Amino acid sequence: MLCHEEIEPEISWRSFLGKDQAPKICTECKDSFAPITGEKCEICGRPFDFLEEEYRIGNICMDCKRWEENEEWSGSLDKNRSLYRYTDFTKEVIARFKFRGDYVFADIFTEDIKTVLQAFQYDYIVPIPLSDERLYERGFNQSEALIKAAGYTPTHLLTRIHSEKQSKKSRDERIQIEQVFKMAEGVEIECKTILLFDDIYTTGSTLRHAAKVLKQNGASKVMSLTLAR
């Protein structure tokens, strides 16, 4: 699906009997993703292997320390985990999926998403919503597409009330923007555990804005899963 090269099938009894699904991408493309492994920040999931020692404080990174020292945001997001580091390869694949309309690329990530989700316990899995303007531009919500492709049912607990592109903002600008989400009407989440789903964790601002609204409306715990970090 990515490089358009022919995939040489591996012949086994499972494949002969039709029990193995054909791979979506070749081994070379799959190996080009950089899974996040090893020690990581216990809050945002940042891999410590690629972080200079002075930006680590115990089991958390400097970014999360700053978030947690801010009274407005402390405790808003309990934990984030991401599948891959945001390498040039991953950035290009996500851009093709998200901005150029290659909706079928959601299928590439299904197995890895399913594997990681086994480590989470939650009541609702919630895609980060797009503004009406962004949804019209793209034709689909990339987070919702990933959830559905992996075989899960998204729950729409939030709506977006702010439409400026986050990708164009600096870290400080992202943190200082007004609340961008509100709760959907008629939804009860008292004492529920929510899992937010998004494509990229950059500064954590978007996820914390969403998490804060959910906790203000009764959620007991809010975690998140993203493709890339």
Q: Which amino acid is at 11?
A: I
Q: E strands, 103-156, where?
A: 124-127
Q: Is residue 1 part of a domain?
A: no
Q: Is residue 3 part of a domain?
A: no
Rounded to whole angstroms, the Cα distance separating 180 from 39 reads 32
pTM of the model: 0.89
- Percent of the chain exceeding pLDDT 70 equals 88
Q: Is residue 19 part of a domain?
A: no
Q: Is residue 91 part of a domain?
A: yes
Give 61-95 pLDDT, tens digit per residue: 999 999 999 999 999 999 999 999 999 999 999 99
What total number of domains does the chain contain?
Answer: 1
SS3 of residue 216 by DSSP: helix
Whether the predicted pLDDT of 31 surpasses 70: yes
Query: Residue 168 belongs to what domain range?
Result: 27-228
CATH number at residue 198: 3.40.50
Q: Is residue 209 part of a domain?
A: yes
User: Average pLDDT of 9-32?
Assistant: 75
Rounded to whole angstroms, the Cα distance separating 58 from 89 reads 31
Angle at 64 between CA 96 and CA 163, to 5 degrees: 45
